Structure 1
Amino acid sequence: MLVAAIAVPPLLSRSQLAVFILLGVAATVTVGVSLLMGYAGQVTLGQAAFLAIGAYTAGLLAVHGVPTLLGLALAPLVAALAAALIGAPLLRLRGHHLAFATLAVQLILLSLLSQGDWAGGAIGLQGIPRLSVGGHELAGDVGYAYLAWGALVLVMLITANLVASRSGRGLRALATGEIAAAASGVPVGRYRLTVFALSAAFAGLAGGIYAYYVGYLAPGSFPVLLSIEYVVMAVVGGLGTTFGPVLGATAVVLLVQVLNHLGTQPGMPGYAPAVLSYAVYALVLVLVVLYLPRGVVPALTSWRKGR
């Protein structure tokens, strides 16, 4: 994957490169969603909130003169800290109650950002400088493609090593059943909170990259539909897998591009892209749950082993 990420960007056009960068950002967030839902068994509908926290952290620090590299480093830390503070009371909930609670967190955050002059309000935060490394500004899209996909490879390595560790065995037990895991000595509450914070850190890192790449942030950049997209990506690719989020993110991002192109055709109403997105996401989820309940990557793995 690293070799492909290095070889592909110079071959892409400007528009294709933008999609490639946003795909890397989306896949980075989805790795955290897959880890959270696949191992900790927690359904989240507000992961875009932590993407926004990371993005606004990096953007606000950069606007106020803090070195951009430091802002990028602090983005995942602030997102993880926010998740730890929010998750301590929130993770007492289960199932759809937790899903609605995470959704409420995102709605509250969007309301605060739209009303806060410190964050640019509804107009948004403008004038975010480009990322600088060692005094050299990362101006080209190819550089951001390397940055986004380098971050994706990093979070995949962290996830793979975590799952393979002793703590990862505890997470696998937790995914099987909380009562059985607790009876085996797994600190269920601490593990769930740790995974929740780690998934938020992945989203925060992606948010920092997004802020420096786009150069402009607004509450409308982080809609509820975006959180639903991440869940769809994780479920389609395969929860609790390392490569599933990348495959799921690739499928959904390309699907979004097709739907946006279709919804903006002459004669289509202005609300067509949003309506098409919701309808197709629902259809994809239903089909995957019915025919590929474990996701595409586990299904392909089972098929390969059964040959």
Structure 2
Amino acid sequence: MTERTHPGTVPDRPARRRAGRGRRWALAGLALGTLALPPLLPERHLATFVLLLLAATVTVGVSLLMGYAGQVSLGQASFYAIGAYTAGLLAVHGVPPLVGLALAPLIAAAAAVLLGAPLLRLRGHHLAFATLAVQLILLSLLAQADWAGGAIGLQGIPRLSLFGVELREDLGYAYAAWFVLAVAVLIARNVIESRAGRGLRAAAASETAAAASGVAVGRYRLAVFALSAAFAGLAGGVYAFYLGYLAPGSFPVLLSIEYVVMAVVGGLGTIAGPLVGATVIILLVQVLNTLGTQPGMPDYAPSVLSYAVYALVLVICVLFLPRGLVPALRSRVGRVVRP
């Protein structure tokens, strides 16, 4: 007499493997599609495309930090600034741009380790406010530091050179930003599927139970905090060479909030979520900026509209899509496909 299996046990394993393969194929198709997109875009849209990819790179780290480590950071733009200033300052002082770009994520990760060791002892909104305070302190220091250009900003940053080829056009930076995002996605995917990723998921669900099972919760969370900072620092390095100019005003507090909104809208704890969230928010902000700069609109209209859309999108997601766009779409597609 054969034993009858319950639904959701053994028969679900092949289904999960097929779903995993489907997600990998979808991600590969998305990568190829975005790789072929830059030459087709008008010149005026390439800048938006570059900034979108850089924002998605930072948001991948935010999604890891919030979705897997269960930690909220409202100061991710500070590591973006650290990476940008690291690359910019080194390049201005004669260091090859590629070396500066390689050191940008390392310096950002080192800063995250130094800051995270005491800060990650905090929980919930205490940690969020502490990371916000770090960014405010950093912006104040940069505004007073003559060696970093002060409030005027760091000028004369050379163009990025890759293997002897200097990137001068937006198209070249579009591919550089695409490569940076691809590196972040691959690393994040490997972390999620590793033993450390399983430990982080367990810690996010129950820190006490995870610690009792032998998970080094504090060490894992510090590692993810440093990794998310490294992603931000790498994106910041590309940003510095792309603009050729840096100022404290380039990294406002609103930028950190923007990354959190992108991660929440796309779906925390997913790889595709940051990509979708960054695309939705960046395009929406561009539309609102265009609307806010129309004749007859006040000077403060773009800023007010940006704050309003962040609040509105968050409220809509919390009410109707609490898990984000990507998990909601997966759930709907699963119900349609399931026999």
Give the alignment's TM-score, normalised by structure 2: 0.89
Q: Which residue of 2 aligns with 1:289?
A: 318
Q: Deviations over 1:184-217 (max 9, x none)?
A: 1110100110000000000000000000001000
Deviation at 1:18, TM superposition (A): 0.5
Q: Which residue of 1 aligns with 2:34?
A: 5
Deviation at 1:268, TM superposition (A): 1.3
Deviation at 1:179, TM superposition (A): 1.2
Q: Deviations over 1:119-148 (max 9, x none)?
A: 000000001000112222111211110110
Choose which of 109, 119, 122 in structure 1 pairs with 2:151. 122
User: What runs of 5+ residues in structure 1 fail to find an aligned partner?
Assistant: none
1:84 aligns with 2:113: yes
Is the contact made by 1:58 and 1:68 (CA closer than 8 Å) also made in structure 2?
yes
Q: How does 1:147-166 map to 2 (within 5 A)?
A: 147-166=176-195
CA distance in 1, matches of 2:66, 2:130: 15
| Identical-pair percentage | 76
CA distance in 1, matches of 2:125, 2:137: 18
CA distance in 1, matches of 2:206, 2:79: 27
User: What is the total number of aligned residue pairs between the two structures?
Assistant: 307
CA distance in 2, matches of 1:45, 1:67: 32
1:266 alignment partner, SS class: coil
Choose which of 48, 68, 87 in structure 2 pairs with 1:58. 87
Matched residue type, 1:115 = Q
Q: Which residue of 1 aligns with 2:24?
A: none
1:135 aligns with 2:164: yes
Deviation at 1:69, TM superposition (A): 0.3
Deviation at 1:94, TM superposition (A): 0.5
User: What runs of 5+ residues in structure 2 fail to find an aligned partner?
Assistant: 1-29
Choose which of 307, 312, 320 in structure 2 pairs with 1:278. 307
CA distance in 2, matches of 1:176, 1:238: 17
Q: Deviations over 1:55-102 (max 9, x none)?
A: 000000000000000000000000000000000000011100100000
Q: Deviations over 1:229-269 (max 9, x none)?
A: 00000000000000000000000000110111111111211
The alignment yields a C-alpha RMSD, in angstroms, of 0.8
Q: Which residue of 1 aligns with 2:6?
A: none
Deviation at 1:15, TM superposition (A): 1.3
Structure 1 range deviating more: 263-272 or 290-299: 263-272
2:299 alignment partner, SS class: coil
Q: Which residue of 1 aligns with 2:275?
A: 246
Matched residue type, 2:274 = P
Bigger radius of gyration: 2
- Superposed structure 1 runs of 4+ greater than 6 Å apart: none
Q: Which residue of 2 aligns with 1:18?
A: 47
1:47 aligns with 2:72: no
Structure 1 range deviating more: 150-159 or 229-238: 150-159
Is the contact made by 1:2 and 1:150 (CA closer than 8 Å) also made in structure 2?
no
Matched residue type, 1:6 = L
Structure 1 range deviating more: 173-182 or 251-260: 173-182
Deviation at 1:276, TM superposition (A): 1.0
CA distance in 2, matches of 1:136, 1:257: 31
Deviation at 1:4, TM superposition (A): 1.8
Matched residue type, 2:45 = Q
CA distance in 2, matches of 1:305, 1:12: 33
